[in-house]
């Protein structure tokens, strides 16, 4: 169960889980990515919002189909008791550079229940 040792220190290492998810995503490993999602997971970004494990997996599969390669550089991470946020630099197909902040919420089992992605700028 997610809790804290004190008011500042998460007892569940969400950062490690987040980094594992990003690694699976960059490798386009749908099986590994899917196992990290809660049954009622949600995904929201600038142009879509989907609910449920199946819908989030389907959207991820579509993203994988649209990219030959995905490189993810983690610039910063920020943790709280039930989640983590990461400032990311993503390069798609070696040419499309994106700067995003992903905010992830975890359930009590340590599965990702919400993924929110916000597009930013690189400067």
Q: Cα separation of 117 and 81, whole Å?
A: 19
H or E element: which one contains 121?
none
Enter the DSSP assignment of 11.
Answer: S
Position 33 pLDDT exceeds 50:
yes
Q: What is the mean pLDDT of the chain?
A: 91
**For 2-12, how does the pLDDT look when each residue is reduced to its tens digit (9 = 90+)?**
444 444 444 45
Q: Is the pTM of this model over 0.85?
A: yes
The tens digit of pLDDT for each residue in 36-77 reads 999 999 999 988 999 999 999 999 999 999 999 999 999 999
CATH number, domain at 114?
A: 3.10.450.50
In a domain, 100, yes or no: yes
CA distance 69 to 73: 13
Listed residue (111, 80, 102, 86) closest to 3, CA to CA: 80
Domain membership of residue 36 as a residue range: 14-119
Is the residue at 102 inside a domain? yes
- The CA-based dihedral angle spanning residues 115, 80, 18, 48, taken in that order and rounded to the nearest 10 degrees: 10
- pLDDT value at position 80? 92
Q: In this structure, is residue 72 part of a structural domain?
A: yes
Q: Is residue 5 part of a domain?
A: no
């Amino acid at each position: 169960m997610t809790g804290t040792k004190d008011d500042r220190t998460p007892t569940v290492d969400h950062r490690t889980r987040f980094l594992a998810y990003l690694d699976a995503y960059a490798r386009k490993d749908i099986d590994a990515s899917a196992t990290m999602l809660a049954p009622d997971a949600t995904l929201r970004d600038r142009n879509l919002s989907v609910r449920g494990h199946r819908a989030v997996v389907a959207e991820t599969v579509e993203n994988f189909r649209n990219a030959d390669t995905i490189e993810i550089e983690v610039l910063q991470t920020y943790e709280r008791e039930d989640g983590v946020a990461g400032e990311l630099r993503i390069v798609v197909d070696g040419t499309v550079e994106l700067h995003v902040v992903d905010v992830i919420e975890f359930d009590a089992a340590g599965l990702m229940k919400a993924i929110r992605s916000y597009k930013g700028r690189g400067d």
